[in-house]
Structure 1
Amino acid sequence: MKKLGFGTMRLELVNHDTKEINIDLFKQMIDCFMDAGYNYFDTAYTYLNGNSEKALKKALVERHRRESFFLADKLPIFNLNNASEMEEIFNTQLKRCGVEYFDYYMLHNVSTKHQSKFTDIDSFKFILNKKKEGKIRHIGISCHDDAKFLDNILKKHPEIEFVQLQINYLDWNDEIIQSKACYEVALEHDVDIIIMEPLKGGLMSYEDSDILKEFDKHSSRKAVDLAFSFCKHLDNVMVVLSGMNNMSNLLENIRIFEDDKKLSEDDLEFLDRINRLMHSYDLIKCTGCNYCIDHCPKAIKIPDFLKLYNTQKTSKNHSVGMYYRNMITRYSSSPKDCINCGNCTKFCPQDIDIPKYMDEITTLFK
């Protein structure tokens, strides 16, 4: 299996309210991806209100031989109220995707805050039974917690074959995300590793940021190239996911993954310097997963405003305020409409205090 995986959480939409996906573009991208020899696709029950799974049925499953691709899906344990819901959700996923089995299947966002969802509700036993039934080929977890938690989970559940972890050079030594420590735990347990957020939701492409000038000075290789290279050469890494939403993005990623050039010592020292510089800005660690929007009663496009906040922190571009004014004109709601209900924070994998930042953004761009 080639190491670039197609993440389907950030597909191009033709209707942002209904999360309707540009299916014709998606078909073209899938064909291009597979023609280049790549065949791993990642989705989840909650992605784009379920439309991600449905789009994969139309664009992938109905147009390509089942044996020609690997399909990964996830059980949304954070949505569970009782054990009986797991069967219903799993069957819905099979139907949406149009398949009889999943190649890789995970408990989605196994973490301390969702602990009752895999203790009171035995979701680990559920996916193991589905594997025995032949409806799952490989079982795993996606995890947004610290290394100690991950180690305990893998000790208690040796049946787990792979883990999906947030790994990138910015989070490598981060005290909260602990990419390196979690990676080392996975190595100790000898499970395969799938990397998510190798670019932190696009943050590490450094668009509109003065950081980009540092990359231009250092190397002819782009910021995205170096970020992917950091991830793809780590031991036990099976797949590095990228949430691609346009053909240009896809072709660039394929080019990067076809080049097997490893990072030099000079590159690693440079990335360490960028890491320290980025952490000095005290940026919001949003990856743009959009879970917060789905649970916001005011439908505030939270990730867009958090991204603008980060841009303001890392750029001397004085037009950032103009972008903010354009956004609040274009969108039906803005940070000032936040009612501090806290729904968003419950579903944020990064545990961001979103209401606090909504208030800060409102003040910053007055």
Structure 2
Amino acid sequence: MAELNPKMRLGFGAMRLPLLNPDDPSSIDVETFSRMIDSYLEQGFNYIDTAYPYHKEHSEEAVCEALVKRYPRDSYLLADKMPTFLVKGPEDYERFFATQLERCQVEYFDYYLLHNMGKDRFEETTRYGGFEFMKKLKAEGKARHIGFSFHDKPEVLDAILTAHPEMEFVQIQLNYIDWESNIIQSKNCLEVARKHGKPVIVMEPIKGGGLVNLPEEAAKLLKDHDPEASIASWAIRFAASQEGVMMVLSGMSAPDQLADNTSYMKEFRPLSAEELAVLDKVVEILRQSSAIPCTSCKYCVDECPMNINIPGYFSVYNLMKQYGTNNFPQMHYNRQAQGHGAASDCIECHSCEGHCPQHIKITEHLKEIASIFEKK
């Protein structure tokens, strides 16, 4: 059976595979993907991550063609995920899992995850017996290691790991712009996982490509410090440098991306204090370029009669404006809304604006945010 090499910490994420038609996510270029798999494995890496919904439900089949049919089962580690967002009752777990085994044409998964856990999904999964199903898979040898991917607040992660210590690992979004973000809270989530002794797999280290296309001033800082290093390498090395991280996934969609990532991850070198200081300056530039200059002081919330999560909504809006829709802004808006009034609940009393040190026209921005995230 293949083992995880602690020195080879670059995982191949099958979420953004090469396409024959850029407008059709299901048109995976299996030939190019196969060549990329060949290069990846030849260099000693061996962790491939897929999921039920990726590429309009064609990622698992592409992994089968490019990997499973072409290499011995004990030469790689395959990770897949239970589509918890599609589960409507206890009987669905077995059905979805059987489909995934068939699509991948394997008898077991090395790493198997409950996909996209958060507060609501944790409650649903508990109610439907999802954690018991995961333990059953492990006992039967159909899932060698069980865990979950996570998108929510650190306190929710703490609750899940406290209730289910049998979960062996956690997959979280972690990158240098989300490190201290009040939405993603990468640092705090990592600290929770470490507190529970759970190794972490990192997703979105480059924030869906957003940390490659930096403002000119930020990109110049990185290139001036190390002209030979790619912009992407800074983000992936930042994630891999964190204590407790066992694997960093990269959704590589072209051979040149694979060649770049493997070039510096074969002999991984953690970021130095000097390099981290450069990244701090990059983060500051990115924050200053935000569409809404909110500092999340929360003075506006104190007097809001509708209990609207104004800083939370502004953070989601800024993330979408800077990095596009790759990081699921609608999901983050919905979670920021839990227990709060929606942006459209604003009664235009303007009390918030009287308390805002940045003099932001909050009411106008809330209208725009409502028009984006509350479409019926």
TM-score (ref. length: structure 2) = 0.76
Matches of residues 1-366 of structure 1 in structure 2 within 5 Å? 1=5, 2-15=8-21, 16-17=23-24, 19-206=26-213, 209-220=216-227, 221-282=229-290, 309-310=321-322, 345=330, 356=368
Q: What is aligned with 1:325?
A: none
Q: What is the deviation of 1:283?
A: 5.8
Residue identity in the other structure for 1:269? A
Question: Compared with structure 1, are the counterparts of its residues 346 and 240 closer, same or farther at alpha carbon in structure 2 (3 Å cutoff)?
Answer: closer
Unaligned segments of structure 1, at least 5 residues: 285-305, 313-334, 336-342, 361-366
Question: Compared with structure 1, are the counterparts of its residues 192 and 253 closer, same or farther at alpha carbon in structure 2 (3 Å cutoff)?
Answer: same
The superposition leaves residues 302-339 of structure 1 with CA deviations (integer Å, 9 ceiling, x where unpaired) of: xxxx9995389xxxxxxxxxxxxxxxxxxxxxx9xxxx
Question: Compared with structure 1, are the counterparts of its residues 33 and 168 closer, same or farther at alpha carbon in structure 2 (3 Å cutoff)?
Answer: same
Residue identity in the other structure for 1:158? P
Question: Compared with structure 1, are the counterparts of its residues 344 and 97 closer, same or farther at alpha carbon in structure 2 (3 Å cutoff)?
Answer: same
CA contact (8 A) 2:173 2:204 kept: yes
SS at match of 2:290: coil
Larger radius of gyration: 2
d(CA) in 1 for partners of 2:281, 2:120: 33
CA contact (8 A) 2:207 2:323 kept: no
CA contact (8 A) 1:78 1:117 kept: no
SS at match of 2:211: helix
d(CA) in 2 for partners of 1:14, 1:265: 42
Question: Compared with structure 1, are the counterparts of its residues 357 and 21 closer, same or farther at alpha carbon in structure 2 (3 Å cutoff)?
Answer: farther
Residue identity in the other structure for 2:202? I
The superposition leaves residues 49-72 of structure 1 with CA deviations (integer Å, 9 ceiling, x where unpaired) of: 221000111110000000000000
d(CA) in 2 for partners of 1:152, 1:131: 22
d(CA) in 2 for partners of 1:263, 1:18: 34
d(CA) in 2 for partners of 1:9, 1:349: 23
d(CA) in 2 for partners of 1:226, 1:62: 34
CA contact (8 A) 2:122 2:160 kept: no
CA contact (8 A) 1:345 1:351 kept: no
d(CA) in 2 for partners of 1:49, 1:91: 18
d(CA) in 1 for partners of 2:104, 2:67: 9
Residue identity in the other structure for 1:5? G
CA contact (8 A) 1:40 1:71 kept: yes
d(CA) in 2 for partners of 1:205, 1:351: 27
Q: Note the aligned Cα RMSD (angstroms).
A: 3.0
SS at match of 2:17: coil
Residue identity in the other structure for 2:330? T
d(CA) in 2 for partners of 1:129, 1:262: 38
Q: What is aligned with 1:296?
A: none
CA contact (8 A) 1:143 1:163 kept: yes
Residue identity in the other structure for 2:125? F
d(CA) in 2 for partners of 1:146, 1:351: 10
d(CA) in 2 for partners of 1:347, 1:279: 18
Higher mean C-alpha deviation, range 78-87 or range 154-163: 78-87
The superposition leaves residues 2-61 of structure 1 with CA deviations (integer Å, 9 ceiling, x where unpaired) of: 100000010112243361210100110000100001110000011112210001111100
d(CA) in 1 for partners of 2:157, 2:151: 9
CA contact (8 A) 2:12 2:249 kept: yes
Question: Compared with structure 1, are the counterparts of its residues 216 and 350 closer, same or farther at alpha carbon in structure 2 (3 Å cutoff)?
Answer: farther
CA contact (8 A) 1:209 1:311 kept: no
TM-score (ref. length: structure 1) = 0.78
SS at match of 1:225: helix
SS at match of 1:13: coil
d(CA) in 2 for partners of 1:99, 1:171: 35
Q: What is the deviation of 1:239?
A: 0.9
